[in-house]
């Protein structure tokens, strides 16, 4: 996330991230998805890494959700000691709306970071499912991912991260399988359309295995929570754990690994590495430029913009700039050249110091609206606000004001009049 992050951030890469620019080194959790990731595998890995099980259960029991139990089962996967998180249920209800799940999580009054991480995970799921089924996110009905075990896996993962004191989540590239899988909608390709949508912009690769290595719940966890993707980041390792899948796979440990430790990147001195890609153009139309920017953002760029310039021989032209995670630089360079027809792209590695920010959701006129909370301000996502304004007939300015007001009043009801952790300015009807 750049300092100039806009409302069109790629949602599955931009949720539940908080990067502190000063203070003690953050605690980092790196998920190694060499055999994919599922909700129970993520939760199991964190339990295996030392998240206190009784404290985890105490948090989960705050959910207004009955008919479930959770146990941590020690197992071996291809000779590796791992923990399998097993959720057993006595309730047959497996279909819930996104709004229903938001209500469950908010009613539990969990620690702020647990609530936000869980809600952001379900939010990216709702957005992707909404695109797949051509429905607004708030009207999405979750099938498998709305069941008791999926809710426990997602909220449990958020709770386990909090118990371990994790400030930042990172991930390796995510492995997927091939073939077909059975779902509530019948047979689907593997990886499923939801997994492919959730992994958009995220480094991924396929194994030649007819096994669902990565599930929608697992993909949503890394899409919503991970701030970067690549090899193990510089850290002083404190603990590691393996979360087991439900069965053995010949020749492959069916596990997700997590490594937890203190970051060795001094965030107050050294910023987050980012790649700036640029190309100069004097032979493309405005339509092509606009489409190129949208394509780059959809492919995972943190930000993309166009600057008018005067080129050689006095020709008017444009510089297209792209800010991205270095792990995505090759893919974005190719996309930039393909969309613009440029004969070359230059790049330079920079650093950035993003301010602390959290993503949250409020309801305005019966619709879910995303807000970005940072020190000194709360900012409503323009895309969500415009959708509500179009549907309700309200002026866009009024939707901004109502969303900000709802968020502040909810924080006051929770006993956090200034928000937690960011401080929020006095009410002001002017859109952020």
Nearest one of 115, 137, 111 to 370, comparing CA atoms: 137
Predicted local distance difference test score (pLDDT) of residue 428? 38
Residue 426 lies in a domain: no
Quick one: 336 and 380 in the same domain? no
Quick one: 317 and 200 in the same domain? no
Tokens 């429905």 correspond to 135
Predicted local distance difference test score (pLDDT) of residue 366? 83
Tell me, yes or no, if the pTM score tops 0.85.
Answer: no
Quick one: 114 and 234 in the same domain? yes
Backbone angles phi, psi at 367, to 5 degrees: -120, 145
- CATH, residue 327: 3.30.70.1380
Q: In which domain, by residue range, is 363 found?
A: 358-413
Q: Which of 352, 371, 395 is the last residue of a domain?
A: 352
Nearest one of 69, 130, 68 to 99, comparing CA atoms: 130
85 token code pair: 């998180």
How many domains, in total, are found in the chain? 3
Quick one: 219 and 335 in the same domain? no
Total count of residues recorded for the chain: 432
Quick one: 49 and 184 in the same domain? yes
Residues 292, 319: contact at Cβ < 8 Å?
Answer: no
Quick one: 284 and 330 in the same domain? yes
Instruction: Determine the Cα–Cα distance for residues 184 and 144; give it in Å rounded to an integer.
Output: 7
Instruction: Determine the Cα–Cα distance for residues 346 and 274; give it in Å rounded to an integer.
Output: 14
Residue 431 lies in a domain: no
219 token code pair: 């993909």
Quick one: 91 and 228 in the same domain? yes
Residue 380 lies in a domain: yes
Quick one: 79 and 198 in the same domain? yes
Q: Which of 263, 291, 313 is the last residue of a domain?
A: 263
Sign of the CA dihedral with 327 first, then 330, 333, and 334 last: negative
Quick one: 212 and 322 in the same domain? no
Q: Which of 352, 367, 392 is the last residue of a domain?
A: 352
Adjacency order of strands within the sheet including 272-281: 303-310, 316-324, 272-281, 346-352
Backbone angles phi, psi at 56, to 5 degrees: -60, -45
Residue 401 lies in a domain: yes
Radius of gyration of the chain (CA): 22
Residues 272, 325: contact at Cβ < 8 Å?
Answer: no
Bond preceding residue 299 cis, omega within 30 of 0:
no
Local confidence pLDDT in tens for the 432 residues of the chain: 333 333 333 333 333 333 333 457 899 999 999 999 999 999 999 999 999 999 999 999 999 988 889 999 999 999 999 999 999 887 655 567 777 888 889 999 999 899 999 999 988 888 887 776 666 555 555 544 446 788 999 999 999 999 999 999 999 999 999 998 877 667 889 898 889 999 988 999 999 999 999 999 999 999 999 988 999 999 999 999 999 998 999 889 999 999 999 998 754 456 778 999 999 999 999 999 999 999 999 988 999 999 999 988 888 999 999 999 888 889 999 999 999 999 999 999 888 877 667 778 888 888 888 888 876 678 888 888 898 899 888 899 999 989 888 888 877 766 554 444 444 333 333 333
Quick one: 60 and 118 in the same domain? yes
Residue 2 lies in a domain: no
Residues 69, 24: contact at Cβ < 8 Å?
Answer: no
Residue 388 lies in a domain: yes
Nearest one of 354, 363, 351, 318 to 336, comparing CA atoms: 318
Q: Could you tell me the CA-to-CA distances from 163 to 45, 156, 260, 268, 368 in Å, in that order?
A: 13, 10, 12, 25, 29
Quick one: 63 and 196 in the same domain? yes
Quick one: 35 and 97 in the same domain? yes
Predicted local distance difference test score (pLDDT) of residue 5? 34
Residue 4 lies in a domain: no
Instruction: Determine the Cα–Cα distance for residues 24 and 237; give it in Å rounded to an integer.
Output: 16
Residue 425 lies in a domain: no
């Amino acid at each position: 996330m750049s300092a100039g992050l806009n409302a069109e951030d790629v949602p599955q890469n931009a949720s539940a991230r908080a990067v502190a620019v000063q203070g003690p080194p953050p605690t980092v959790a790196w998920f190694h998805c060499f055999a994919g990731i599922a909700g129970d595998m993520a939760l199991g890995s964190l339990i295996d890494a030392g998240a206190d099980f009784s404290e985890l259960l105490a948090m989960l029991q705050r959910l207004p959700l009955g008919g479930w139990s959770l146990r941590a089962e020690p197992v071996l996967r291809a000779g590796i000691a791992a923990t399998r998180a097993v959720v057993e249920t006595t309730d047959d209800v497996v279909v819930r709306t996104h709004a229903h799940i938001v209500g469950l999580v908010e009613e539990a009054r969990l620690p702020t970071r647990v609530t936000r991480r869980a809600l952001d995970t379900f939010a990216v799921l709702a957005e992707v499912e909404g695109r797949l089924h051509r429905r607004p996110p708030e009207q999405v009905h979750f099938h498998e991912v709305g069941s008791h075990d999926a809710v426990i896996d997602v909220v449990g993962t958020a709770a386990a991260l909090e118990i371990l004191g994790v400030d930042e989540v990172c991930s390796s590239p995510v492995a997927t399988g091939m073939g077909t899988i059975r779902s509530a909608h019948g047979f689907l390709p593997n990886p499923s359309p939801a997994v492919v949508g959730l992994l958009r912009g995220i480094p991924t690769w396929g194994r030649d295995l007819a096994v669902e290595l990565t599930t929608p719940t697992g993909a949503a966890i890394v899409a919503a929570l991970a701030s970067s993707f690549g090899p193990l980041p510089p850290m002083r390792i404190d603990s590691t754990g393996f979360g087991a899948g439900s069965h053995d796979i010949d020749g492959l440990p069916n596990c997700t690994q997590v490594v937890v430790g203190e970051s060795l990147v001094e965030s107050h001195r050294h910023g987050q590495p980012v790649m700036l890609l640029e190309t100069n153009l004097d032979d493309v139309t405005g339509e092509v430029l606009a489409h190129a920017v949208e394509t780059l953002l959809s492919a995972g760029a943190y930000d993309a913009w166009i600057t008018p310039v005067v080129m050689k021989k006095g020709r008017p032209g444009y510089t297209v700039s792209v800010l991205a995670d270095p792990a995505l630089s090759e893919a974005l360079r190719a996309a930039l050249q393909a969309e613009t027809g440029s004969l070359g792209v230059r790049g330079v590695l920079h650093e950035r110091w993003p301010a602390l920010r959290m993503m949250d959701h409020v309801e305005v006129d019966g619709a879910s609206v995303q807000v970005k909370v940072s020190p000194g301000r709360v900012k409503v996502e323009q895309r969500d606000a415009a959708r509500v304004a179009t549907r309700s007939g309200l002026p866009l300015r009024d939707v901004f004001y109502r969303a900000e007001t709802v968020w502040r009043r909810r924080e006051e009801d929770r006993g956090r009049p200034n928000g937690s952790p960011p401080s929020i300015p006095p009410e002001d009807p002017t859109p952020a």
